[in-house]
Amino acid sequence: MRGLDQFQTSEGEESISACGVALVDCGGGDADRCFSRGAAFRALGYRTAILRDDDKEPTEAIEEAFVADGGTVIAWRDGRALEDELFLSLSDEAVGQLIDRAIELQGEDLVNEHIKSVSRGTKDLAAIRAELKRNGISAKSRTILGEASRTRRAGWFKSVSWMEGVARDIVGPDLDDADPDFVALIDEVFEWASDGG
């Protein structure tokens, strides 16, 4: 969100920090952790929203209690983590840019090995690149890339600054061409931030 905010302010939009919003990274992992942190902010009287992955479901009662206490929850779709959303929602051009950024950050060999591992040897980096050039990337390959990019302990963008750069440089500029349902989730976060109520 910080990277998207940087992109939007570069386009003349008001920063979410100017709306009095602070972003807090809950560190992933335990799906319930964000709710304990969010509840602490709610207990102090702050308006609080959680944007969470959906690949690991939180405890339903914990999420419901947070919402009942006035918290807002926005989740990525259909069992997806952020990386899944990016590879499934962005344009072919942006997917190519994500791959290039992953190679820049992690090296071609690691990216290739992750793709081969996740696809059980049916795809590799060369095949993905050929697909992108030939006729656009398939939904199956997009799914493989999403999973490969979030390989445990070796995720392609698993640092706050790396993902911030991806959001600012690739995701933000691609939103006009991205899946409208993904864009609607992004808009929901920014609308919540600017609402103030």
Which segments of the chain have a pLDDT < 70? 196-197
Domain limits for position 45: 2-79+179-195
Q: Which residues contact 148 (CB under 8 A, 6 or more apart)?
A: 111, 114, 115, 117, 118, 119, 156
Residue 121 lies in a domain: no
**pLDDT for residue 183:** 98
Residue 162 lies in a domain: no
**pLDDT for residue 147:** 97
**pLDDT for residue 196:** 65
Residue 117 lies in a domain: no
Residue 21 lies in a domain: yes
Provide the number of structural domains found in the chain.
1
Q: What are the structure tokens assigned to 21, written together? A: 């919003």
Question: What residue ranges in the chain does DSSP mark as E strands?
Answer: 49-52, 72-75
Q: Which residues contact 122 (CB under 8 A, 6 or more apart)?
A: none
Residue 109 lies in a domain: no
Q: What are the structure tokens assigned to 65, written together? A: 């209690």
User: What is the rounded distance in angstroms from the CA atom of residue 62 to the CA atom of residue 30?
Assistant: 13
C-beta of residue 160 within 8 angstroms of C-beta of residue 25: yes
- The candidate with the shortest Cα–Cα distance to 78, out of 89, 62, 65, is 89
Q: What is the pLDDT of residues 146-173, one digit of tens each?
A: 999 998 888 999 999 999 999 999 999 9
Residue 31 lies in a domain: yes
Task: Please state, in angstroms and as integers, the Cα–Cα distance from residue 39 to each residue in 42, 50, 66, 107, 117, following that order.
Answer: 5, 10, 6, 40, 39
- The candidate with the shortest Cα–Cα distance to 86, out of 16, 147, 33, is 147
Residue 45 lies in a domain: yes
Residue 28 lies in a domain: yes
Which residues, in sequence order, are bridge partners of residue 72?
Answer: 49
**pLDDT for residue 48:** 96
**pLDDT for residue 192:** 95
